[in-house]
Amino acid sequence: MTFRNTSVDLFSQFYILQNFSTFFNFSLVDAIYDRAASSESESHRPTIRALLIIAYSVIIIISLFGNVVVCHVVVKNKRMHSVTSLFIMNLAIADILITLLNTPFTLVRFVYSTWVFGKVMCHVSRFAQYCSVHVSVLTLVAIAIDRHQVVMHPMKQRMSRVKGVAWIGVIWVMGSCFSLPHAIYQKLLRFEFINNRVRMVCLPSFPHPSDLFWKYLDLTTFVLLYILPLAIISIAYLVVAKKVWFQNAVGDITLAQSAAHRRRKKTTLKMLIAVVAMFAVCWFPLNCYVVLLSSKVIQANNALYFTFHWLAMSSTCYNPFIYCWLNHSFRAELRALPLIGRLAKVNAIQPS
């Protein structure tokens, strides 16, 4: 679909765009036109462009390094082939996809103020972006439930690897189903301005009434993939933390063993708190912003959006540290890697 502007200024086109509300959400197009008018200069300011590129590049580099290392350690070491490790590797894969398919697309779209990836990628990228995020969130829930079962019911038989792989398959199917509406209802629009500028925009094209469809889709996503997962993760880890904190070492132990037991408890509690805090803090601003925007409570704001988006995307950097590098068994396997092992030895022999 092409919109041409040959004789009127930018702002007078809002009236024209509202006639197309049956085909797509015109409030989104208003935001795009606002962006064409205001963020055109913003995105081409060297300072802002450089800051965005640096900020997102930091996420990409750290996330790819951390999550690729996680996958390598789990795949190469048979001792790490537990169900928990499979969930952690699935989380790392989802975070890699978020890093590769979400962060760069958003950055390029803002820097160039147009969609440069074509019609097919307009649908594919939107599906991949939402699916990878949904899979990451659902995997966090699966890890929380698995940790709860292990700590609260230590005598019960652990979940088999086959069942763990099956649950991972279910997670990907659920993530795909949640993402389909965003992939199906996408449209690539072409805007032509009076100075021969052309803007390609990849937008949601929801059924009539589009504004209500968009509003309730985002609200449902917010509840099912943020509020509900946060509640499950918080409750599961609260119960685990309570059990770990009041659990005493069994048998006759020395003072050194007692101190080591207390340190392990503190480490576990720190990890559990970090998991809940990271998920809540990183994802709440963006989710809240999207819901308020689709409900027309607020207007689109580039500065807010990219701040919240960067914060959400940065969660892919923290997961490897929280779930793996704070884990004693994983750290031991990590030191077995040639490069990491050499770096650890160099740091160990350096004088304090």
For the question of whether the overall pTM of this predicted structure is more than 0.85, the answer is no
Q: Give pLDDT, residue 122.
A: 87
Percent of the chain with pLDDT over 90: 22
Confidence band, pLDDT 50/70/90 cuts, at residue 342: low
Q: What is the mean pLDDT of residues 123-128?
A: 88
Cα angle 190, 195, 196 (rounded to 5 degrees) comes to 45
How far is the C-alpha of 60 from the C-alpha of 316, rounded, in Å? 9
Closest CA to 262 of 140, 337, 253: 253
Q: Give pLDDT, residue 249.
A: 56
Q: Give pLDDT, residue 56.
A: 92
In tens, the pLDDT along 106-121 reads 888 877 778 888 888 8
Query: Which amino acid belongs to residue 264?
Result: R
In tens, the pLDDT along 1-38 reads 555 543 333 333 332 333 333 333 434 444 444 444 44
Cα 283 to Cα 92, 172, 226, 239: the distances in Å are: 17, 20, 8, 23
Of the candidate ranges 26-40, 89-103, 219-233, the one whose mean pLDDT is the lowest: 26-40
How far is the C-alpha of 212 from the C-alpha of 207, rounded, in Å? 9
Q: What is the DSSP letter of 224?
A: I
In tens, the pLDDT along 58-90 reads 999 999 999 998 898 888 877 777 888 899 899
Residue with tokens 């119960």: 239
Helix (H/G/I), strand (E/B), else coil: 69: helix
Domains and CATH numbers, the chain: 15-340 (1.20.1070.10)
